[in-house]
Amino acid sequence: MVAKMFKDVLTRRSLLGSGAAVAGSAAAAAILPRTAFAQDKVVKIGFLAPLTGPVAAWGKPGLDGCLIWGEWINAAGGINIGGEAHSVEFVAYDNEYDPAKARTGATKLIREDGVKFIMMLGGDTWPGAQPVADRTGMLFSTLLPSDLSPDTTTLIAPCEVHPIYNVTGVEWLADNMPELKTAVMCAQDDALGLPSVATYLAAFEAAGIEMQDDPLLFDPATTDFAPVVTRLISGNPDIVCLDTCYADYVHPICEQLFQQGYGGQVISCTADFYQQIVAKTSEEFMEGFVFQFPDFDDPALNDESINFQKPNEFYAEYASRYGADQWGAVSWEYASIMDLWKAGAEKAGSAEPDAVLAAMKEGGTGLHAFGEADWWGKDLFGIDNALVGNWPIVVIEGGKATIKEFRSIPEWYAKHGELLKKHMSAYGQMWDQRT
Amino acid sequence: MIELLAQTGLNALYAASYTALVAVGLVLIFGVMGVINFAHGELFMLGAYAIVAVYADWNLPYLVAVAVGMTFVGIVGLGMERAFFRPLRDNPLGGLVASIGFLMILQALVSMGFGVRMEHVPPVTQDVIVITERVRLPVFRLAVILAAVVLLACLWAFLKKTRFGWALRASAQDPEAAALQGISINQTARIAMFIGAALAGVAGALTAPLISVNPHMGHSVIVTAFIVIIVGGIGSLEGAVIVAVAYAFVHTFVTTFFDGVIADIVGLLLLLVVLIVKPTGLFGSTDRA
């Protein structure tokens, strides 16, 4: 406990510091051979995500993953830009999932820290940073392509095509369990929940699964989910869909489903820290739970089509530092984005945002973590700035997340794209409907 | 439909129980000290973290953890009274601002001590009373409801039957007259703050295994508690209990039959209507309004 407190105090202090370089990177730099890099050859990357607050589960684990990535890259000689080795340093700013703080953070990272690239979670915080991106031309990434629009050409979604990949889970479910005919869904009423609702509605319609009721929206401040679950299962649905609920909601909802005696299929975008859900319910209850984010110790990730450096070792290192039960949806994602950025910078021979962006998008294709992918999105986002390819379907078996299959998002879209656009429009989530 | 109504009623009873504990504590502090304690939600959060530390991390029995949580948060309340509210007694706005500052300090301290991520609290029991196939009452939820009833009954007995209770009520009605009768204002403030904080702490401790425990969990609780005490009448303990039950039923039923967002809107509309029709609240007195 004392050790835990000490560790967290350090973490917290580093967060509260005025954008100080993250301690892990500095420590790694200190133990590396001094000759590896000229002292001034450091490329700084901004990490502008929620590190505290209710959405921290989709920021902090990503920073933790980036620290490992940075240490490994620096230990291997850094990033070769224009023939010179550069060490990489992450500069974190906690935006607390607050648009105003995102704006302040973006300005500070660019003006004071001189970062060359800023990674964000996006969602509600993107409107805060967008004016800064438009004014400075800084290259930003988001995990949520629903932030994309033609208004900002320097925003890319190179890793996670949330929520579009959710269609693969529903498609897999329909193919493997055709007896499931009805579904219900709940979601928090926010910028993360609503586009996901539209996507799941399209996916269920495409799969011939009937929605028993309109999606049940709840206030993000909800703490007691018993009423939500009572309503959800009142019609005895075959499938309960948890949309893209935050971990703080997925856990109590699952616990309520268990306690209120639900025995059907559950599907969710994420199941962060799912071991805790298993502990609060039972292995039997969680058996067959479908979601979209694998543990990186999965042997399926060792396939040569996977573009992520040593995924199993990465997971082992993450688990040894932070605990396996702290692995979450975003633990690998920001690191994966850094793989793409590194390749772009090395290809461009420059860390400047416009040069890296042009190199990344050259030819209209790129290497996504889960295989080759296309820069895509004009239909839905008004701009081809999302890197879209395959995505895994993950099922909990024996209390452990297991990749069952990779499925192609573009193939699904080619068949059912109009359905997706119909539901996105109905929820006001098309790029030209967003304000 | 009957089963759905019954299950929703059970859900509402549980929501009413912890809401009443939090709201009554808030009312008690305001009634005696005249301070709006914005940090009350964070006292609820501290109670939940006591469970994380004592029950989840140290593996001590759950009831021991609840007792530790209640006592610890009560002592934190005593500290708040001495450090902030007593020096700012003649400045109600100062007390309010100090409590806002203190809530941020508490959030930061807990983040430093435990991290920002949701904490895992193992279930105390997974037993469920199966009334019918569609009507189920988890044993632990029943225990929370019963604990809240017992605690509120004890508080009522304390206020009505003991000298300290009389002193508290006298101070709440007229602090100057109470002081002239020899009642120590400092002592009644300490007792009120200890009990009020301990009630928030025990509510957090009791519900910790059922909700997401994180440093910001106090926010939603305090919003609900403020709605309850304003509608009930600021300073009215009976009003807080009655409105907590009524609000929980309205909110739970609207969530179940419409959705959670509409339930929040209905709650705020109720608040608005009461403020327009009876600004002192349903059970409030003009003095405290």
Residue of A378, A348, A377, A372 lying closest to A360 (CA atoms): A348
The rounded distance, in Å, linking the Cα atoms of B144 and B136 is 15
Average pLDDT value for chain A:
87
- Average pLDDT score over residue span A175-201: 92
DSSP H helices in B81-138: 92-114
The rounded distance, in Å, linking the Cα atoms of A110 and A133 is 10
pLDDT band (50, 70, 90) for residue B144: very high
Cα of B150 to nearest chain A Cα, Å = 22
pLDDT confidence of residue B33: 82
| Least confident among A52-56, A262-266, B191-195, B223-227 | A52-56
Are the CB atoms for B204 and B46 separated by under 8 Å?
yes
Residue A258, pLDDT > 60, answer yes
Fold of A166-298+390-426: Rossmann fold (3.40.50)
Residue B279, pLDDT > 60, answer yes
More confident residue, A97 or B1: A97
Q: Domain spans of chain A?
A: 2-162+300-388, 166-298+390-426
Residues of A in contact with B15 (CB under 8 A): 224, 226-227
Which residue in A7, A96, A230, A285 has the most chain B C-beta atoms within 10 A of its own C-beta, making it the best mutation to test that interface? Answer: A230
pLDDT confidence of residue A38: 52
Count Cβ–Cβ pairs < 8 Å, chain A vs chain B: 134
Residue of A263, A280, A283, A265 lying closest to A399 (CA atoms): A283
Q: Domain spans of chain B?
A: 16-216
Residues 6+ apart with CB under 8 A from B182: none
pLDDT band (50, 70, 90) for residue B13: very high
Residue B257, pLDDT > 50, answer yes
Which amino acid, one-letter code, is at A77? G
Kindly report, residue by residue over B174-227, the tens digit of the pLDDT: 778 888 888 888 888 899 999 999 999 999 999 999 988 988 888 888 988 888
ipTM over 0.85: no
Residue of A71, A78, A67 lying closest to A10 (CA atoms): A67
pLDDT confidence of residue B60: 95
Residue A124, pLDDT > 50, answer yes
Kindly report, residue by residue over A134-169, the tens digit of the pLDDT: 999 999 999 988 889 998 999 999 998 889 999 999
Residues of B in contact with A252 (CB under 8 A): 210-212
The rounded distance, in Å, linking the Cα atoms of A92 and A17 is 10
- What is each CA distance from B96 to A151, A279, A294, B27, B39, in whole angstroms? 44, 41, 47, 14, 9
Q: Name the DSSP class of B84.
A: I
Q: Name the DSSP class of B213.
A: B
The rounded distance, in Å, linking the Cα atoms of A337 and B28 is 53
Residue A395, pLDDT > 80, answer yes
- Average pLDDT score over residue span A334-351: 95
More confident residue, A433 or A342: A342
Contact A224 B11 (CB under 8 A): yes
Contact B117 A259 (CB under 8 A): no
Which residue in B255, B258, B268 has the most chain A C-beta atoms within 10 A of its own C-beta, making it the best mutation to test that interface? Answer: B255
Residue of B7, B125, B113, B85 lying closest to A226 (CA atoms): B7
- From the list A219, A252, A258, the residue facing B261 with the nearest CB is A219
Look up the CATH number of domain A2-162+300-388: 3.40.50.2300
Give the position of tokens 């593996």.
B59
- From the list A8, A221, A281, the residue facing B223 with the nearest CB is A221
Helix (H) or strand (E) holding A329: none
- What is the radius of gyration, based on Cα positions, of chain A? 21
- What is the radius of gyration, based on Cα positions, of chain B? 19
Cα of A194 to nearest chain B Cα, Å = 13
Contact A248 B8 (CB under 8 A): no
Residue A28, pLDDT > 60, answer no
Query: Cα A53 vs. chain centroid, distance in angstroms?
Result: 17
CB environment A180-214: b (16+ within 10 A), e (fewer): bebbbbbbbbbbbbbbbbbbbbbbbbbbebebbee
Share of chain A above pLDDT 90, in %: 68
pLDDT band (50, 70, 90) for residue A7: very low
Would you call B126 an interface residue with chain A, using a CB distance cutoff of 8 Å? yes
